Structure 1
């Protein structure tokens, strides 16, 4: 009995798998070039050459360089484990201190795994309106999470003199890619040490 019908049966699955692999290779190639050369200095042709595909293949996969960069940013956000943070925030034993620690842990994972992507999106946002929107949307999603968490606390939990919006501002000033990079790159802190410091410092600054 011929195996040809079985082979044809899986042709569509094979093509879909190959397309995903091609997209992933293009994304990896783009990230390498963006980090090593800078976003502005890297062209779609450079990405295609690095990935070993044609220029039309890059455009077909991601639309343009901005679309490719936005896809990298979306993947970076997923890599940090937002669902894990949500579970920790909603846990029955989640005190305000533990919720702050859960958010700090998410930020540590995000910056540890995708700090280079965040930096390149911020760089590209200076000249690309689409990526400026993506960058600000990402920052806004983080703020929305903190507003929801801080607003859920009973009166008297936040430090006297702090309202929810001010507490969000304090969090943003402490837990950001620049602070993380300074401590890990310039000061030699481990990511775990940064996470612990954030959790303790946030509790001191935000809780009564």
Structure 2
């Protein structure tokens, strides 16, 4: 058998690997620029230059800047490990305290790994309806999880006078990207310290 046959056999795999590498390089370049100078100020041309590719390559891979942002947002959502959160929430021995801790841990993982993208995405939504919808839908899905968990608790678990919707509002106010950034970027807290405070504050504010 000639040497050409094995080489041809792996050409497709090589092209796929190269395409995935290019996608990743473009996404990483866009993330650096979005974080450094904001979403609105970043152009596709700058992303291409930062990634070391042509402008047509960026368009062929992601369509446009919105498509690139949507791909980054999808990756950000996975960075919190939603499967792990679901497993912890559904564990047979998961008490309300344990479930609150699981949700706080998810938010810590999400903000620690992708918090630098969430703020530019929110900024982009001010001028791009598609991205505003993306951000709003992500917030709504997070609320749905909280409402489902709180609704599963026995009567009397929530603090007196709290209904499920208000409890979800309080959670959203405490465990937000803005609170996380205030503690970590401005006050020097570690992510683990923020998570510990969230667990204590959520139990104190929500549970009898």
Instruction: Return the TM-score normalized by structure 2.
Output: 0.98
Note the 1:8-47 alignment, pairs <5 A: 8-47=8-47
State the SS of the aligned residue for 1:148. helix
Alpha-carbon separation, structure 1, partners of 2:57 and 2:91? 45
Instruction: Return the TM-score normalized by structure 1.
Output: 0.98
Alpha-carbon separation, structure 2, partners of 1:54 and 1:136? 33
Give 1:201 deviation, angstroms.
0.7
Give 1:9 deviation, angstroms.
1.3
| Structure 2 match to 1:207 | 207
Note the 1:72-151 alignment, pairs <5 A: 72-151=72-151
Alpha-carbon separation, structure 1, partners of 2:185 and 2:26? 28
* Deviant stretches of 4+, over 6 Å: none
In structure 2, the gaps of 5 or more residues are none
RMSD, matched Cα: 0.9
Alpha-carbon separation, structure 1, partners of 2:123 and 2:35? 11
Alpha-carbon separation, structure 2, partners of 1:51 and 1:115? 22
Alpha-carbon separation, structure 1, partners of 2:52 and 2:188? 37
Deviations 1:47-80 (A, max 9, x none): 1111111111111111110111111111011111
Deviations 1:118-145 (A, max 9, x none): 0110111111111101111111111111
Give 1:24 deviation, angstroms.
0.3
Give 1:21 deviation, angstroms.
0.6
Alpha-carbon separation, structure 2, partners of 1:38 and 1:171? 28
